[in-house]
Structure 1
Amino acid sequence: MNWKTIPLTLSLSLALLCGVSPRADGGEVPNAIAAAGIDFDSPGEDAPYRTTGGASRGSGTCLSNSESLMAITPHSQIGLTAQGHPTLLVYVPSSSGNSLELIVAGDDGTEMVRKNLPLPIAPGIVSFSLTDADMPPLTIGKPYQWYVSLICDDLDRSVNPVVEGWVKRIELDANLSQKLAGETPAAYPALYAEAGIWQETIVTLFEQRLAQPNNPELKQTWEQLLRSVGLGSVSEAALSTSN
């Protein structure tokens, strides 16, 4: 599995999301609207339980500094999705760990999937895409808990840092579907954010950032979105995704 990585740099001001955006075929399309920087409009649905601030637990014997694994989700809340197989994002700090492990389980603890993944090339925010080959689609209306562990010790798993988050699938509103159909992909993050659908908000913007790493407006919008949910400390981190 290969990791694709881009560096992010500091941006202090907010700007309009403009310019071009990626098409599904990998090209670019003009942005038909100018959307202001995104502040996520959370629906306020709390997770059943959650580690404080999304930071990892475990002694973290292989972490290189004081940083922790961090789930890229709204603080103490469920990340809503309209996808049966959503993409999850985690900040992975510098470490001497061996690999990562992803687990998705139902709210009763029944595991849906457990898979090992390589560490990214560089510290940063990484994506984990779930597919039909991994597990059945999420059931609409049911919460699922997911975990990502940094494997430091294969024998004593209690020392391995682990972070957890929650995701729940919802049915996409017909009005939102109509709005999405009438806009270019550049507008998708703002539309999903307005509807309180976190996973698609962050993932569509994440994908646009990967496609256009030198777009300053996308960079600023990304940083503002992370700051709006208390994740400003990792807003400048590198982005990577597995192929």
Structure 2
Amino acid sequence: MYHPNYLKVSLSLLLNLIVCASPSVAFTQTIAKPQTPSKQNRVNNRNQQSGSVQVKVPIKTLPGRRENGSTRRGGCLFGDQPLIVLLLPSTNLGLTTAAYPKFFWYTPDNTAQTILFSLYKVDEKLRPRTLVYQTNFKPNTQARITSLALPNNGKVPPLAINQTYQWSVSIVCDIQDPSPRSVISVHGWVQRVNISNNVANQLKRSNSRERLSVYSAQGLWFDVLATVAELRACNPSDTTLSDIWTSLLQQVELDYLAKQPFYQQCPRR
């Protein structure tokens, strides 16, 4: 459990660093028409049985930085993979149906003082304009994959459908030094999309494992990742789920993170 406002960070300076690093480009989302669900689901069901899931992610690429590290003297990232990495496709964009999605990223061994997570609503040129949610917390010092769910607490608005959002993770080595040599940031994009009534009804009739096929066929990266993570937490001895997790990261060229520790509790029903 992370506790917001663990340290008092100079947020305004950090926000300026993140916003200034974000490019401005025109963007129109185009999603290819998916295959017939029944046909695609049969393919994905066979893949699941063999420990593999293929997500039909959109081919549109957005400017972003899903991986970043620091080799500067006095840096605070260490280990075999001294990078902060967002668990996103190489296009830097992930789709979801969730109003309050869960975000995943990797942090290496570190001596950082705090981590800052931010979510922005952006304009038609992808320039961050409205801060939707922000929190900071003490990072774990050992390498691990971390997750954070957008809180559904009545204070944070749900993601709007077909609106693009930028999310960023910044690791702050020294809170007294908000300069680029101390703040290491990564950012990517999330978009909530509509699904057809047929797909929605199919999801209602499916259990978590069966939903993986539907999510994959619709290209819903965030939904697939969150579902596999939850299934692994609830079925720790199921090696097929570990293989599926590995296959997902291989698909987006992040297979070097597949064996990294990831701690998540099985949610109570």
In the alignment, residue 244 of structure 2 is paired with which amino acid? T
- Which residue number corresponds to residue 193 of structure 1? 216
1:166 aligns with 2:189: yes
* Structure 1 residue runs of 4 or more that deviate by more than 6 Å after TM superposition: none
- Which residue number corresponds to residue 21 of structure 1? none
Preserved CA contact (<8 Å) 2:165 2:191: yes
In the alignment, residue 64 of structure 1 is paired with which amino acid? F
Could you tell me how far 1:45 is from its partner in structure 2? 2.7
- Which residue number corresponds to residue 239 of structure 2? 216
- Which residue number corresponds to residue 120 of structure 2? 105
- Which residue number corresponds to residue 203 of structure 1? 226
- The one of 165, 176, 195 aligned to 1:144: 165
Preserved CA contact (<8 Å) 2:112 2:173: yes
Could you tell me how far 1:190 is from its partner in structure 2? 2.5
Could you tell me how far 1:225 is from its partner in structure 2? 1.1
- Please give the alpha-carbon distance, in whole angstroms, between the structure 2 residues aligned to 1:138 and 1:239: 26
Structure 1 residues 55-96: Cα deviation after superposition (integer angstroms, max 9, x where no partner) = 025567101235200000101231111111111000111101
Q: Please report the TM-score for the alignment, with normalisation by the length of structure 2.
A: 0.72
Could you tell me how far 1:228 is from its partner in structure 2? 0.8
1:81 aligns with 2:96: yes
- Please give the alpha-carbon distance, in whole angstroms, between the structure 1 residues aligned to 2:166 and 2:2: 26
Structure 1 residues 144-167: Cα deviation after superposition (integer angstroms, max 9, x where no partner) = 001111121112222222111100
- Which residue number corresponds to residue 90 of structure 1? 105
3-state secondary structure, aligned to 2:110: coil
Preserved CA contact (<8 Å) 1:148 1:163: yes
Preserved CA contact (<8 Å) 1:104 1:146: yes
> In structure 2, do the counterparts of structure 1 residues 100 and 241 end up closer, same or farther at CA, with 3 Å as the change threshold?
farther
> In structure 2, do the counterparts of structure 1 residues 240 and 99 end up closer, same or farther at CA, with 3 Å as the change threshold?
farther
3-state secondary structure, aligned to 2:151: coil
Preserved CA contact (<8 Å) 1:106 1:144: yes
Task: Compare 58-67 and 162-171 and name the one that shifted more.
Answer: 58-67
- Which residue number corresponds to residue 226 of structure 1? 249
> In structure 2, do the counterparts of structure 1 residues 147 and 99 end up closer, same or farther at CA, with 3 Å as the change threshold?
same
- Please give the alpha-carbon distance, in whole angstroms, between the structure 1 residues aligned to 2:243 and 2:212: 13
Preserved CA contact (<8 Å) 1:126 1:239: yes
* Structure 1 gaps, min length 5: 4-32
Could you tell me how far 1:132 is from its partner in structure 2? 2.9
- Please give the alpha-carbon distance, in whole angstroms, between the structure 2 residues aligned to 1:40 and 1:207: 17
Preserved CA contact (<8 Å) 1:58 1:162: no
Q: Whose radius of gyration is greater, 1 or 2?
A: 2
Q: CA RMSD in A?
A: 2.2
